[in-house]
Amino acid sequence: MARLIITKTPKVYVGGAFIRSESGRTFPLKDSQGAFVGHVPQCTRKDLRTAVEAAARAGAGWARRTAFNRGQILYRLAEMMEARTGELADAIMLGGTAAATAKAEVSTAVDRLIYYAGWADKYEQVLGNVNPVSGPYFNFTVTEPMGVIGLIAPDDAPLLALVSLLAPTIVSGNAAVALASETQPYPAILLGEMLATSDLPGGVVNLITGYRKELLPTFATHQHLRGIGGTTNAEERKLLQSGAAESIKRVKLTSAEDRFDWTTDTAQSLYAIRDWLEFKTTWHPIGS
Amino acid sequence: MPARPAARRTTRPARPAPELSFGDLWTFDPAPETADPKLRQRYDLFIDGKFSAPVSGTYFPSINPANEKPLAEIALAANTDVDLAFAAATRAFPSWSRLHGSERGKYLYRIARLLQDRAREFAVAETLDGGKPIKESRDFDVPMAAAHFFYHAGWADKLEYAFPGARAWKPHGVVGQVIPWNFPLLMLAWKLAPALATGNTVVLKPAETTSITALKLAEILLEADLPPGVVNFVTGAGEVGAAVVNHPAAAKIAFTGSTEVGKKIMRASAGSGKKLTLELGGKAANIVFEDAPIDQAVEGVVNGIFFNQGHVCCAGSRLLVQEGVAEVVLAKLKNRIRVLRVGDPIDKNTDIGAINSREQLDKIRRLVNIGVKDGAELYQPPCKLPEKGFYFRPTILSGVQQSHRVAREEIFGPVLSILTFRTVEEAIEKANNTAYGLSAGVWTDKGSRILKMSTELKAGVVWANTYNRFDPASPFGGYKESGFGREGGRHGLADYVQLH
């Protein structure tokens, strides 16, 4: 007699814990054939606010970690993912992606993490500056993380795009609250499990699932989010940008209409790290 | 060795530093700067390389805030004029952006040199139009504006070194720029120089009370033979600014001004795809620790808040002073501002000139009254003010609390709010307890503390044992609600290109 398998209850990873929505609401996830997979948390505005609070608490400590340590932890996350490639590929295939493509997406996501892990202790050397001012001052510009960044993941490449958004955000010491693909949330659910075992402090990355329509207005106006990134359509972009005006939030969005290609090297760049950095210039006197 | 009588030392009264203050014992002869500002009676719009009358035929007066006398008439741009300016900038863009960087750079070098040639004339014009002391426009605004053109000229053919590893970069196209009235020519240079070096073309609106030096600079652009349409100036008040930032042909907007207007611009441009940089307000903390060289710190605090009548977005408007030295710092500050000379900005000895406009003067008065009502203690030196014109005495509000409006809102005038603190942590907490994050000052003898403070302060510029220093090579810009983007240095260039 065939053994009945134990199915996994999908939970989102917020503040270092696996939770369901405070509202108790879920939405059913089905695979591309229409077969039932599980009930995914339909996170609410309150869940989002909780996630932002968790990120704000974790962010300061994460930013104080050494650059070397942050790089090691991103590398560790890649190790966790590599080991579970099959499981992640299966999660991507739920959306109808072919096996080879799904596996390639996982491999690229792992490589992307390695790419950004390597930047951790180098971007400052490229983006910072000593400035030759006319006067007896040692004038230097350093980068600093912005704080908590909200990320909106697209539906295409649900794992790779999410990783491509998260890695350049957190490598510099920012914390993130990411909204997973609405139609393909399952890879994000699994990614949470890998984050939890990667030595990344709880709360640095918070992944929520749910409906964009419900959550984007809060992403737009939440005062503690210092930036908003990701992929959106024109209408969502307008909503996020006008909401961002209330607290002069930094907005860096790509358009869903452009069908950004996440799979090639052009999707990774030092300038994706720069998007979530502030520049601070210090004038230090020279003299006795 | 006989012990010194300790009692004598402890009973010696804490004497304030000796002071030389002659008050109004004698009056100083006026020492006005007499160079000819070479003003026209009427300034037209500068569009497509020509001065042209506005389609409406309407002009508005620009007055001298030092005596309220009219200086010149300025064209009031209508939407049609703004359209013409954008059309000219759009036409000029392809050839300007394709021009070899070294050639673009040479135009900027020319502009820098021509401005240096006419420096004194521009300084006088700036002071007459804006009210700032001639010693500031002569020694700071104009030379610094020229330096900005000179600095960015050299970047124009070296941009591949500015964005290492970028797969591609290109200029945005036509940039709409709106600048404030506090540093009219300098803000114009901060905006134009990086935009032109990177191959953009520009439609710029100066502030309505201070348009003259922009239009004088248009004369220099003609002397430099800058191709028509590369730079266009449209003049007028807020509606013209709105027409510039909302114009569909603007690929990018660069704005310096109030946080309130910055938010409006963000809302208005939402969904438009326009790139934005905003340099907005501030409420900077200038932090004096007990171990600071106190006299030097007092000079720095005075410069931090009274430079340009306090019309400075990065002004050190909140003095945070450690309790142990609070009394002596306050006493020295009062002494110091008693000898500041407030009056005619064209006088070479004037320290504090005229407030830029009646509207701004009213705002300063209103906020100071609120400060006193909230419980702050007011000190103003008993100096004589000219009868005509807009003037405000240098003002100290002591005993200010974090919750007071004068500790939270940008006053943009010669008003210093004083708060105290005990520990480093409290200083950091108070300094960062603001929606703004443009700048901060730290006064201490301890190098490690400077770097600790600089790390913890949420501000784009941190001055240690100095204040209000600027340089074209030094990036300037804010955190939080003080805006985003940087101006100056390698970092400022990045905001004028699309990076891939």
Selecting from A133, A266, A282 the residue whose C-beta is nearest the C-beta of B471 gives A133
For the segment B455-476, the average pLDDT, to the nearest whole number, is 98
Catalytic residue among B136, B313, B383, B487: B313
Do B261 and B406 lie in a common domain? Answer: no
Do B253 and B290 lie in a common domain? Answer: no
Could you tell me how many CB contacts below 8 A there are between chain A and chain B? 124
pLDDT band at A35 (very low <50, low <70, confident <90, very high): very high
For residues A93-113, b (16+ Cβ closer than 10 Å) or e, as one string?
A: bbbebeeeebbbbbbbbbebb
Residue A61, domain extent = 13-28+45-285
Kindly report the CATH number assigned to the domain that includes residue A251.
3.40.605.10
- The answer to whether B313 is a known catalytic residue is yes
Kindly report the CATH number assigned to the domain that includes residue B212.
3.40.605.10
CB B463 within 8 A of CB B485: no
* pLDDT for residue A275 is more than 80: yes
Residue B385: both structure tokens together:
């003010």
pLDDT the model gives residue B24: 64
Nearest in space to B345 (alpha carbons), one of B385, B304, B302: B385
State whether B471 and A271 contact (CB < 8 Å): no
Q: Measured between beta carbons, which residues in chain A are less than 8 angstroms from residue B266? A: 241-242, 244-245, 248
State whether B479 and A237 contact (CB < 8 Å): no
For residues A115-124, b (16+ Cβ closer than 10 Å) or e, as one string?
A: bbbebbbebb
pLDDT the model gives residue A136: 96
DSSP calls for B324-364: HHHHHHHHHHHHHHHT--BS-TTBTT-SB---S-HHHHHHH
- The answer to whether B314 is a known catalytic residue is no
- Whether A151 maps to a domain, the answer reads yes
Residue with tokens 């709409």: B176
CA distance A181 to A164: 13
CA max distance for chain B: 91
Do B291 and B276 lie in a common domain? Answer: no
- Whether B33 maps to a domain, the answer reads no
| CA distance, residue B51 to nearest chain A CA (Å) | 36
For the segment A106-110, the average pLDDT, to the nearest whole number, is 98
pLDDT the model gives residue B7: 47
State whether A281 and B484 contact (CB < 8 Å): no
* pLDDT for residue B25 is more than 80: no
For the segment B450-469, the average pLDDT, to the nearest whole number, is 97
Residue A31: both structure tokens together:
């695979």
pLDDT the model gives residue B19: 65
- Whether A269 maps to a domain, the answer reads yes
Residue B196, domain extent = 42-280+480-499
Number of structural domains, chain B? 2
Do B441 and B488 lie in a common domain? Answer: no
pLDDT the model gives residue B15: 58
Do B146 and B107 lie in a common domain? Answer: yes
Nearest in space to B46 (alpha carbons), one of B1, B7, B77: B77
State whether B491 and A280 contact (CB < 8 Å): no
Catalytic residue among B33, B136, B279, B481: B279
Half-sphere exposure of B17 (CA within 13 A, CB side): 16
pTM for the whole thing?
A: 0.95
* Complex ipTM tops 0.85: yes
CB A22 within 8 A of CB A50: yes
Kindly report the CATH number assigned to the domain that includes residue B382.
3.40.309.10
A269/B contact by beta carbon, under 8 A: yes
Which element (helix H / strand E) includes A99? helix A99-119
- Whether A33 maps to a domain, the answer reads no
* pLDDT for residue B192 is more than 90: yes
State whether A141 and B489 contact (CB < 8 Å): yes
For the segment A246-266, the average pLDDT, to the nearest whole number, is 92
B140 DSSP 8-state letter: I
CB B353 within 8 A of CB B345: yes
pLDDT the model gives residue B28: 79
* pLDDT for residue B212 is more than 60: yes
Work out whether strand B461-464 and strand B439-443 pair parallel, antiparallel, or are unpaired.
parallel
Number of structural domains, chain A? 1
For residues A190-214, b (16+ Cβ closer than 10 Å) or e, as one string?
A: bbbbbbbebebbbbbbbbbbbebee
Selecting from B164, B266, B465 the residue whose C-beta is nearest the C-beta of A241 gives B266
For the segment A261-276, the average pLDDT, to the nearest whole number, is 95
Tens digit of each residue's pLDDT (9 = 90 or more) over A170-217 = 999 999 999 999 999 999 999 999 999 999 999 999 999 999 999 999
Tens digit of each residue's pLDDT (9 = 90 or more) over B237-254 = 999 999 999 999 999 999
φ, ψ at B397 (rounded to 5°): -110, 110
A132 DSSP 8-state letter: -
CB A230 within 8 A of CB A152: yes
- Whether B13 maps to a domain, the answer reads no
pLDDT the model gives residue B499: 87
State whether A131 and B474 contact (CB < 8 Å): yes
pLDDT the model gives residue A259: 82
Do B142 and B274 lie in a common domain? Answer: yes
| CA distance, residue B484 to nearest chain A CA (Å) | 7
Instruction: Give the Cα-Cα-Cα angle A166, A168, A174 (nearest 5 degrees).
Output: 75
